[in-house]
Structure 1
Amino acid sequence: MEVPTQSTDLQAQCSLWKSEVEQVRGSLRQMRGRLEEMAAGRHTNHERMVEIEHFQNQFIRQLEVADEMFHDLKQSAKTFANGRPAIVHLDRPVDDYDTLHDRMQVFHKLHDELKGEFNRFESYR
């Protein structure tokens, strides 16, 4: 993996990642809207409602993770600009490019898996 070395490159990478997080947030909102339509349907049995609640919980949690990620990326951009962290999270370092890169990969992987699972569920209407 090629690590940007200039603070402007690191800031640009953080901006790109923030944009990606915003896209995931939009995707989650769209899926949540479709889920609400399913829940309002007249032919929703108990088993289907259990699945709907599962996805509702997954969307809530993934939006929380997106909020944390977005916040940490903002802090990282400040860190890379100033040379020191504005806020340090022991469980989620914001001043380490490799850690942020890994977190973004996991973030995308989890979103892609949830999206695929939801699309399969949705297709069984």
Structure 2
Amino acid sequence: MKKESMNNSDLHFEHKQWRSELSFWEDELKTFNNRLEELIKRWTDKNVLAQLEHFQNQFIRQGEVIDTLQHHINVHETNMVTHDEKGENVINVNLAKHHVAFRDRMETQRKIYGDLKKDFYRFLPKFM
């Protein structure tokens, strides 16, 4: 059975995809926060404001997670550049394991972020 190898160009391609996705999420969070500001100005009901604060906290947390994920990608890219400069195109086993684990982390984050968006979209019509 032939072993599948990972090379830097494959990993770089996936990193570019993840960066684009994370950048899109950042833009969405800006839009969501703008919508929250509109609602905060409109409502004085403490229950509604508490829900708005909940979403505001979640959006802040998601921004922090995005920053962490972007940092991890940058660290991995820097490591890959070091390997490229040495003429080592095939990633070592530990880096490949980290990459696969990060891929799983991105999948989990997609679910978490997607669920938050669904909740926010369900919330908006009630209070707009």
TM-score (norm: length of structure 1) = 0.83
| Structure 2 residues not aligned, in runs of 5+ | 84-93
| Higher Rg | 2
Query: Deviation digits for residues 67-97 of structure 1, max 9, x if unmatched?
Result: 00011111111223324xxxxxxxxxx9311
Residue type of the alignment partner of 2:15: C
Structure 1 residue runs of 5 or longer lacking an equivalent are: 84-93
In structure 2, distance between residues paired with 1:67 and 1:98: 19
Please state how far the C-alpha of 1:34 moved relative to its aligned partner. 0.4
1:9 aligns with 2:10: yes
* Higher helix content, 1 or 2: 2
Secondary structure at the residue paired with 2:76?
helix
Where relative contact order (Cα < 8 A, 6+ residues apart) is larger, the structure is 2
SS at match of 1:121: helix
Q: Deviations 1:17-57 (Å, cap 9, x if unpaired)?
A: 1111101111111111101100011x431100000000010
Aligned to 2:79: 79
CA contact (8 A) 1:11 1:81 kept: no
Secondary structure in structure 2 of the residue aligned to 1:5: coil
CA distance in 1, matches of 2:5, 2:25: 24
Q: How many residue pairs get matched?
A: 113
Alignment RMSD: 1.9
The percent identity for this pair of structures is 30
- Partner Cα distance (1:26, 1:39) in 2: 20
The aligned amino acid for 2:112 is L
Mapping for residues 54-93 of structure 1, pairs under 5 Å = 54-83=54-83
